[in-house]
Structure 1
Amino acid sequence: MGIQFGQEREKSYGAVIINEKKEFLLIRHKNGGHWDFPKGHKEAGESSKETALREVLEETGLTVRLIEGFKEKSRYSPKPGVEKTVTFYLGFSMGEVQIQEEEILDFEYLTYDEAKARITFKESKSIIASAKQFIDTYLQSNED
């Protein structure tokens, strides 16, 4: 389905986060109860990566070290007349999760298979598959 005349475009930025055990962090959003990655809207003057890092910090309390070379986009229509594009980066978590209780119900670190099964939306299932492939290649090429 193509873009319709007068359709609103919305953009968000987020990150796929893994820990030292190569487990993926998922958060459960209060708005809708869906399981997904941390993400949100850009504030004035921010770059895409700065937005992703800020949103992760706000929603999870985590500082993240982004891995260069991973950038995936997801496009979908959350409601009639709106096309949303979410750009995801990939990074390693540093610290302990402290969820933002106003927006987030829960969080969990899961293996790839568990996370892919838990994710609510098919667009994010595609993102985690790309992230898994990227991280496996990245870790193989950076072994001592």
Structure 2
Amino acid sequence: MREFSSGIIVFRRVLGERFYLLLHYHYKGDYWDFPRGNIKEGESAKEAAIRETREETGLTENELKLVEGFKEEVTWFYKFLGQTVYKKVTYFLAETETENVKISEEHVGARWLSFEDALRLLKYQNSKNLLVKAETFLKNLDDQRSASAVKPGV
């Protein structure tokens, strides 16, 4: 059995600091993680990620600015009704200026957290690794922008 999902690591900036959105999942366990869900037939991973994020957070495509160049895939196996399921989740990265989210009934909470606090709250190592990759990617982007903004003789 195979299952394909996608999601978005959503962040916003407040006074120059990044805060990441985590949702509190209560089905199939009790944990915090990024918005994600199954890819429907005929959907691309990116289309599904945007749809799932809208359904789970209320954030619309217009409120999400996808960060070009970031796409990570996470895979694992799990057991369901005695069968081994191969799961692959494709993650994208997006910035928003919207603070208020409207969670779906799949979740019992949502929080904007600093990188360090989000890293502590995430339960699964795959998610922790994703967050580190996202933060590193964004730091590198910030460094590149700063370097290109500095002009000799100014």
Fold shared by both chains (TM-score > 0.5): yes
Name the one with the larger strand percent. 2
For residue 12 of structure 1, what is the aligned residue in structure 2?
A: 5
Stretches of structure 1 that go unaligned for 5 or more consecutive residues are 1-7
2:87 pairs, out of 80, 84, 87, with 84
Question: What is the letter of the counterpart of residue 22 of structure 2?
Answer: L
1:1-144 equivalence runs, <5 A: 8-21=1-14, 22-31=18-27, 32-63=29-60, 64-79=64-79, 81-95=84-98, 96-100=100-104, 102-143=105-146, 144=149
Identity of aligned residues (%): 35
Question: What is the letter of the counterpart of residue 124 of structure 1?
Answer: S
Please tell me whether Structure 1 or Structure 2 has the larger radius of gyration of its CA atoms.
2
Q: What do you get for the CA RMSD once the two structures are aligned? A: 1.3
Deviation of 1:94 (Å):
3.9
Q: Distance in 2 between matches of 1:104 and 1:11?
A: 20
Q: Distance in 1 between matches of 2:45 and 2:145?
A: 26
Deviation of 1:84 (Å):
0.7
Q: Distance in 2 between matches of 1:118 and 1:140?
A: 27
Deviation of 1:30 (Å):
2.1
For residue 5 of structure 1, what is the aligned residue in structure 2?
A: none
Question: What is the letter of the counterpart of residue 27 of structure 1?
Answer: L
Q: Would you identify which runs of 4 or more consecutive aligned residues in structure 1 move more than 3 Å?
A: none
What do the CA deviations read for 1:74-132 (whole angstroms, capped 9, x no partner)? 111232511111110000024221111x2011010111111011001111111101000
Stretches of structure 2 that go unaligned for 5 or more consecutive residues are 150-154
Q: Retained in 2: the 8 A contact 1:62–1:94? A: no
When residues 78 and 34 of structure 1 are mapped into structure 2, their CA distance, relative to the original with a 3 A threshold, is farther
Deviation of 1:43 (Å):
1.8
Q: Distance in 2 between matches of 1:46 and 1:83?
A: 19
Give the structure-2-normalised TM-score: 0.83
